[in-house]
Amino acid sequence: MSQWCLSDPALKTFSGRAPLFPLPNLVLFPHAAVPLHIFEARYREMTADALAGERLLAVGLQPPSTEAVAPIVGLGRLIAHERLDDGRYILVLRGVARARILSEEPLDRPYRVGHLELCCDQVPETPTFDRQARAEEITSLFCNLFPGVEFQRLVQQALSEELPLGSVCDIIASALPLAPSIVQNFLEELNTDVRSQMLWQLLKRMEPRAENTAGSLDFPPIFSMN
């Protein structure tokens, strides 16, 4: 089984540590770009430190009423930011990799910091299906579920650039209006063939619901806040 990792320049000198940003409603995938509104004092400090450092944040799904964070997080790079007059930040965070939390540093600052291990996509040497055909079918299913959505153009562009199947799945999974706990399953599945099968099955199950709701599925996902 071969491995494929993103070649984002931010990863070439990654120190292995990054601020942990627990959120109850956001799962960050590689390739996905999400807006964030930072208003809590501890996360304002986290943002300032990240901007002064490697510009990386590890977004971890945190179920409500718990301090636990999912073991696999989305590592993102800050690609745009604006500091408002009252100290709040508006950010755009782009996912660059999956990562596993190995440990957390003792709390000597108001936010959490994790030691991380990058997680590469695992690609079986011998596929049991045509990966290009699978990517096209998944894309077709998504476009049928969300007709007229501008996101379709981005997916088609991704396919034209011959992104690996795992990346195509990430792009589409990140856009689906699903419970975060379900989306987290796609983030944690490193085998790209298994991930594509999971997504294909999910999209097939959504087809009858889409027909019954006559286009009422919500898209795109809502603006994320801390």
- pLDDT (0 to 100) of residue 107: 84
Give yes or no: residues 91 and 8 share one domain: yes
104 lies in a domain? yes
- pLDDT (0 to 100) of residue 225: 52
Structural domain count, the chain: 2
* Helices and strands in the chain, H and E counts: 7, 9
Give yes or no: residues 152 and 65 share one domain: no
Q: Which domain holds residue 186?
A: 126-213
Asked whether the CA dihedral 78, 81, 86, 87 is positive or negative, the reply is positive
Using the 3D structure, point to which of 95, 119, 143 is the last residue of a domain: 119
Helix (H) or strand (E) holding 18: strand 17-23
Backbone angles phi, psi at 126, to 5 degrees: -120, 105
Give yes or no: residues 145 and 62 share one domain: no
Give yes or no: residues 114 and 134 share one domain: no
Give yes or no: residues 171 and 71 share one domain: no
Residue with tokens 């501008």: 150
Nearest-angstrom CA–CA distance, 225 and 183:
18
Using the 3D structure, point to which of 119, 150, 172 is the last residue of a domain: 119
Residue with tokens 């599925």: 217
Give yes or no: residues 73 and 107 share one domain: yes
Give yes or no: residues 42 and 95 share one domain: yes
Give yes or no: residues 7 and 110 share one domain: yes
- pLDDT (0 to 100) of residue 220: 43
Q: 203-219: string of b/e by CB count within 10 Å (b at 16+)?
A: beebeeebeeeeeeeee
Using the 3D structure, point to which of 119, 137, 157 is the last residue of a domain: 119
222 lies in a domain? no
Q: What is the CATH number of the domain that holds 19?
A: 2.30.130.40
25 lies in a domain? yes
- pLDDT (0 to 100) of residue 118: 95
- pLDDT (0 to 100) of residue 5: 66
Tell me the average confidence (pLDDT) per consecutive run of 10 residues in the chain, 226 residues long: 65 93 95 94 97 97 90 97 96 96 93 96 93 91 78 63 86 90 96 97 82 46 48
Give yes or no: residues 92 and 7 share one domain: yes
174 lies in a domain? yes
153 lies in a domain? yes
Give yes or no: residues 114 and 147 share one domain: no
225 lies in a domain? no
- pLDDT (0 to 100) of residue 64: 83
Taking CA atoms, 118 is separated from 14, 58, 75, 219, in Å, by 9, 11, 9, 30
